[in-house]
Amino acid sequence: MSLSQGQIKLITSLTKKKYRKEHGLFVAEGVKVVRELLASDLQLSMLFCTPDFNSGLESKVQEISEKELKKISNLKSPNKVLALFKIPVSNFVAPEGITVALDAINDPGNLGTIIRLCDWFGIRQIVCSEDTVDCYNQKVIQSTMGSITRVTISYLDLPAYLAQVKIPVFAAEMQGENVYKSNLPSAAVLVMGNEANGISREVSDTVSNFLTIPRFGTCQKTESLNVSTATAILLSEFKRNS
């Protein structure tokens, strides 16, 4: 069965947050990502696949040609399947253990990588400022490789949230305490800031502890680490000390 113009219009419109919100749907592509999401609690709306993809589903599946898949794919090399899933209602979880807070993260690849890192390190929840990139952006979904199904992500007034939490709030900053010499708690909020500007002043006012990852290079000229790389190092230290 061929794709209708209405289907093509709907799928391509979901590259924009406005239409994801309007329709309550997001796009996932590729065999690995789609299989991960199918195995989760997410609700499938529709799956489009080439004849050589075995979905194991009896309904909500439409076979299409590779040529048609290219029309609706956002990937340079489409991989057999594209699926539409319903955006779940976000269930906020009370702080427990380590919570990662993101302040105005703009790059979808960085957010996707941070979600995967949280999944790896057993972090159950990420809280995001309202100007952080949408976690249902297609590039974020691809970067998470399915980890988005195992981490709760909430968007909120970040300064207000941080001002009322009862556990220590840590943030990454160049002038902070050496993370390798810090006594890190098992319960805390770790704030990671914007790729270019770091954390905002409003968020900074709520932080009780600042950490830095020291430079070991001889020249000492590297300005900063990528935010997802820094997140990996800091989470590793929190978990090593817990």
Write out pLDDT tens, residues 62-74: 999 999 999 999 9
For residue 188, the cross-strand partners are: 98
> Under CATH, to which class is 98-241 assigned?
alpha beta
| Whether residue 219 has pLDDT greater than 80 | no
In the chain, where are the structural domains located? 5-86, 98-241
Q: Mapping DSSP to helix (H, G, I), strand (E, B) and coil, where does residue 133 land?
A: coil
Per-residue pLDDT band at 174 (split at 50, 70, 90): confident
Q: Tell me, what DSSP letter sits at residue 87?
A: P
The number of CA neighbours under 13 Å toward the Cβ of 48 is 23
- The whole-angstrom separation of Cα 6 and Cα 24 is 16
Report which residue type is found at 182: S
CATH superfamily of 5-86: Ribosomal protein L30/S12 (3.30.1330.30)
Surface-to-core class of residue 235, CB atoms within 10 Å of its CB (0-12 exposed, 13-18 middle, 19+ buried): buried
| pTM of full prediction above 0.75 | yes
State the average pLDDT over residues 40-55. Answer: 93
